[in-house]
Amino acid sequence: MTLSYLDKLQEDIGKTLEKVSSREKYINNQLEHLIQEYRSAQAKLSEAKERYQQASGGVTERTRVLAEISEELEKVKQEMEEKGSSMSDGAPVVKIKQSLNKLKQEILQMDVRIGVVEHTLLQPKLKEKSNMTRDMHATNFPEPAAGPFS
């Protein structure tokens, strides 16, 4: 009786395995195009990361150039103020001061834009670092063997 039951169980399991295998092949065939799309998306992601690395280097260089230009602007501003105070006609000095104020406003706007770009470029780095940290903590380490004092 037990033997016949086990034989029937074996036969049922065999049929079920065949069905699972058949369905697995069918699903693999149906999902093949999605796998190709996934691989393509990964390639695009790699390209985007590379472009990001190049762009972040460009922002750093532009920030340095902006600092140099700002420094030169301050020097020119001081010279203009010195020359303006020695002139008797005040109209050119007023125009110069207006121009300098306009330049200050533009510099502030550029500083804000640079800050936004730096922030935008920093976010993916932080997210990637967070993902790496999460992945490191997610790995399971084997439990230590019980010592003689446990």
DSSP string covering 97-116, please? Answer: HHHHHHHHHHHHHHHHHHHH
Provide the pLDDT confidence category of residue 70 given band limits of 50, 70 and 90: very high
**Looking at per-residue confidence, does 91 or 20 come out higher?**
20
Helix (H) or strand (E) holding 19: helix 2-86
| Average pLDDT estimate for 106-127 | 92
The encoded tokens of residue 36 equal: 């190709």
CA distance 131 to 143: 24
**Measured CA distances, 131 to 19, 128, 136, 138 (Å):** 39, 5, 9, 10
To the question of pTM greater than 0.85 for the whole model, the response is no
